[in-house]
Amino acid sequence: MSRYFAAVIVPVYNTPQQVLRRCLDSLLSAADERVQLIAVDDGSDEKTAETLEEYAQKGFVVYHKENGGVSSARNCGLDRTDAEYVFFADADDTVRAGFPVSFAERMRTDRLDVLISGITILPEGRTESTGYVKNVVSDGRTLAAGSERLFSGFDLCYSVRMGFRSDFIGRLGLRFREDMSVSEDMVFNMCAIAASERAEAIGESRYDYRLDCPDSATRRPFMPGYTDSMRIEYETAAELFSFTDSLRDRLAAFYMDFVFYHVVRNEKRGGMLTFDRYRAICEMPMFRESILCLGPNHRCENAKAQMLYRLRYYRQYKLPYGAVK
Contact assessment for residue 48 and residue 14, using Cβ atoms and an 8 Å cutoff? yes
Asked if residue 258 and residue 198 are part of one domain, the reply reads: no
Q: Is residue 234 in some structural domain?
A: yes
DSSP 219: G
Contact assessment for residue 129 and residue 161, using Cβ atoms and an 8 Å cutoff? no
Asked if residue 33 and residue 83 are part of one domain, the reply reads: yes
Asked if residue 44 and residue 180 are part of one domain, the reply reads: yes
Supply the pTM of this predicted model.
0.93
Asked if residue 203 and residue 235 are part of one domain, the reply reads: no
Asked if residue 114 and residue 34 are part of one domain, the reply reads: yes
Contact assessment for residue 238 and residue 153, using Cβ atoms and an 8 Å cutoff? no
Q: Supply the CATH number for residue 77's domain.
A: 3.90.550.10
What range does the domain containing 231 cover? Answer: 226-313
Task: Give residue-wise pLDDT tens across range 113-154.
Answer: 999 999 999 888 888 889 999 999 999 999 999 998 899 888
Q: In this predicted structure, what is the pLDDT of residue 214?
A: 59
> What are the residue ranges in the chain where pLDDT is below 70?
1, 213-220, 320-325
Q: Is residue 290 in some structural domain?
A: yes
Q: In this predicted structure, what is the pLDDT of residue 141?
A: 96
Distance in angstroms (rounded) separating the CA atoms of residues 172 and 153? 26
Q: In this predicted structure, what is the pLDDT of residue 324?
A: 44
SS3 content of the chain, % helix, strand, coil (to 5): 45, 20, 40
Q: Is residue 324 in some structural domain?
A: no
**Residue where one domain finishes, among candidates 192, 218, 244:** 218
Q: Which of 276, 273, 279 is nearest to 317 (CA)?
A: 279
Q: Is residue 119 in some structural domain?
A: yes
**Residue where one domain finishes, among candidates 190, 218, 246:** 218
Q: Which of 320, 316, 23, 309 is nearest to 160 (CA)?
A: 23
Q: Is residue 72 in some structural domain?
A: yes
Asked if residue 269 and residue 253 are part of one domain, the reply reads: yes
Asked if residue 175 and residue 240 are part of one domain, the reply reads: no
Domain count, the chain: 2
Q: In this predicted structure, what is the pLDDT of residue 325?
A: 41
Q: Where are the beta strands (DSSP E) in 92-239?
A: 94-95, 114-122, 126-128, 162-165, 199-210
